[in-house]
A and B are shown apart, each in its own frame.
Chain A
Amino acid sequence: MTRTPFEFPPEQSRMREQARHYAWRSIVLITISGVALYLTTGRSQTMKTAWITDLLSIVPSIALLFALRRELQPATERYPYGHFRVISICFLLTATVLLSMGVWLLGESSLKLARQERPPIGAMMLLGHPVWAGWTMIVALAYSMFTGMYVGRIKQPIAAKLHSKAIEAESATNRNEWMSEGAAIIGLVLVGLGQWWADAAAAAVISVQIVREGWQNLRQVVGDLMDEAPTKLGTHELEELPERVRQAVERLDWVRQAAVRLREHGHLVTGEVFVVPRSDAGLVSNIEASVRELHELDWRLHSITVMPVSHIEPLVP
C-alpha cells in the first residue's frame, strides 16, 4: 500500500513541465547577464559582488532541475520512502552556498572599506570612443535587473499551483536580484560623483542580502528535515491541512475519534492518522477505503498510514 508510486495529477504534471522549462530559461538568461556583468567588472568590488550574486542565482534553478528528475524515482529497498526529499537536499546545498559566499563577500567588502581601498574605474573603448567604464557597468546591471525580475515573475504562479517551496524560493532569489543590482547602480553612480567608499559599501549591502537569503533558505530546509508540520507558501504560518484531514476522517461513520500528524516530504505531504474505531467489524477494509479517500482529499497527500488505536493521547501535550 505504501509502495504505490506517486503520480502527479494532470494539471500539476503540466506545471512541473513548465517549471522545468522555466528553470532552463532562467539558467540561459541569467548566464548571459552574468557574462555581461563579468566582462564589465574591472576592479570594482560592487561589480564583482554583482556578477557572483548573479551566477549564484542560477544555483536554485540547477538544484530544481536535478530534484525534478530524481524525486519521482520509485522507492527502492534502500530508500523505501522514495526520493521525494531530494528537493530538501538540493535546498540545503543552495542555502549553504549562498550563506558561505555571502559571508565571504561581506568580509571582503568590509576589509576594502576598512583599508580605504579606492576603486579605479577608467575608460573603456566603445566603437572607438573612450567611455567611462562605469556607464557600461550600469547598463549591464540594468540588463541583469530586468532579467532577474522577468524570470522571477514567470515562476511565481507555478510555485503557487504546485505548492512548491523550492520553486517559490527559486523565484524569490530571482526577484530579489533587483535589490542587489539597484544597490550596485547607486554605488557606481556615487563612485562617479567622487564617493569612493560607495563601491565597497554597495558590495557590502549586496552581500548582506545574499546572507539573508541563504539564512532564510536554511531555516526553511531545517524545518523540512525536522518534520515540521506543513506551512503556507512563503510564510511560517501552519497550514490547515492536518485539521482538514482529521475532520474528514472523523466524518467517516466507523470512526469515533481521530488524530493526525503530517509533515512535508518534498513536494508531498505524508504522515499518520490515528483512529479509534467504533467496532472491529470490517476494520481492515474500512481502513483501506479511508486511505484511498484521503488521497482524493488533496493531491499532495501521499503514503498516509491509518493506524487503529484503542484511545488517543494528545500528540502535542
Chain B
Amino acid sequence: MPRDPSHTLERVRGGTLRVGIVQNDPWVVDRGSAVDGIEGRFAVDVASAIGARIEWVRQPEFELIRLVHDRKVQLVIGGFDTKVRWAQEVALTRPYLERDRKSHVLAAPPGENAWLMFLDQRVEAFKDAATRTAAELSQ
C-alpha cells in the first residue's frame, strides 16, 4: 500500500522514465543531450534509483501538464511551487525546498499513489542536497 491504479511505478522500474522539462535556471537547465539544474539532477537520481532510462520531453508547459495528467509523462520539472494554477490537475510532491516563501515541488500524474509515495521519499532524501545547492547558487 499504496498501489498505482495504472501501475506507473512498476512500468518505469527498469524501463523508460518520461520526464517533461520546462527550462528554468537554476532549477532546470537544458543542455541538449543532458539536463542539469537542481531538479534536473533530482530526475537523474530518481531514474538511477529504479534503473530507468530517462526520455526528456520538451513541450510548452500547458502541454506537459496535460501529458502528466493523462499519465503520458511520469514527472514534470520546471521550478514549480505549490501555488501553480494547475495544482488540482496533477499530483504535487512534498516540497523539497522552501525559498523566498515559495515551496518548491515536482508534478506527477494524479492518483498514481505508489509512484507519488516513491517520489516523496526521494524528495525527503534530496532535501539536504537541494538546500546546499540553492545556498551555493545564491552566493
Residue positions of A touching B, CB distance < 8 A = 43, 117-125, 130, 132, 134-135, 191-196
| Contact indicator A120/B3 (Cβ below 8 Å) | no
CB < 8 Å A-B pair total: 69
Looking at B20-28, B41-49, B50-58, B109-117, the stretch in contact with chain A turns out to be: B109-117
Q: What residues on A are CB-neighbors of B94 within 8 Å? A: 122-125
Residues of B within 8 A of A192 (CB): 1-3, 113
- Distance between Cα atoms of A247 and B4 in the complex (Å): 71
8 contacts between A and B (CB under 8 A): A121-B113, A122-B117, A123-B120, A125-B124, A192-B1, A193-B2, A195-B5, A196-B111
Q: Name the contact of A132 in the complex, choosing from B1, B91, B112, B124 (C-beta under 8 A).
A: B1
- When distances are taken between beta carbons in the complex, the residues of chain A under 8 Å from B108 are 120
User: What are the 7 tightest A-B residue pairs by CB atom distance, in nearest-first order?
Assistant: A118-B111, A120-B91, A123-B120, A194-B3, A122-B116, A192-B1, A192-B2
B93 at the interface (CB under 8 A from A): yes
In contact, A118 and B124 (Cβ under 8 angstroms): no
Give Cα A124–Cα B117 distance, bound, in whole angstroms: 9
Return B92 CB to nearest CB of chain A, in Å.
Answer: 8
Query: B residues near A, CB below 8 A?
Result: 1-5, 88, 90-94, 108-114, 116-117, 119-121, 124
What's the Cα separation between A196 and B4 when bound, in Å? Answer: 9
Which residues from chain B contact A194 at a C-beta distance below 8 Å?
2-5, 113-114
List chain A residues, Cβ under 8 A from B88.
Answer: 43
CA distance A117 to B94 in the complex (A): 20
Interface contact B111-A134, CB-CB below 8 Å: no
A207 → chain B closest CB, angstroms: 20
* Closest residue on chain A to residue B1 by CB atoms: A192
- Contact check, A118 vs B5: say whether CB atoms are below 8 A apart: yes
A134-B108 Cα distance, complex, nearest whole Å: 18
Given contacts A123-B117, A196-B111, contact A191 B124 (CB under 8 A): no
Report the bound CA distance from A117 to B92 in whole Å: 15
Given contacts A125-B124, A130-B124, A196-B111, contact A120 B1 (CB under 8 A): no
**Chain B positions within 8 Å of A120 at CB level:** 90-92, 108, 110-113, 116
**Measured between C-beta atoms, what is the minimum distance from A198 to chain B in Å?**
10
B113 close to A122 (CB less than 8 A): yes
- Chain A residues contacting B92 (CB-CB under 8 Å) are 120
CA distance A125 to B109 in the complex (A): 21
Bound: A79/B84 CA distance, A: 57
The residue in chain A whose Cβ has the minimal distance to the Cβ of B111 is A118
> B121 to chain A: which residues have CB within 8 Å?
123, 130
Q: Is the CB of B91 within 8 A of A122?
A: yes
Q: For the complex, what is the distance from the CA of A20 to the CA of B112, rounded to whole Å?
A: 48
* Given known A125-B124, A130-B117, A132-B117, contact A119–B111 (CB-CB < 8 A): yes
Determine the distance from Cα of A132 to Cα of B120 in the docked complex, in whole angstroms: 10
Q: Which residues of B contact A125 (CB under 8 A)?
A: 94, 124
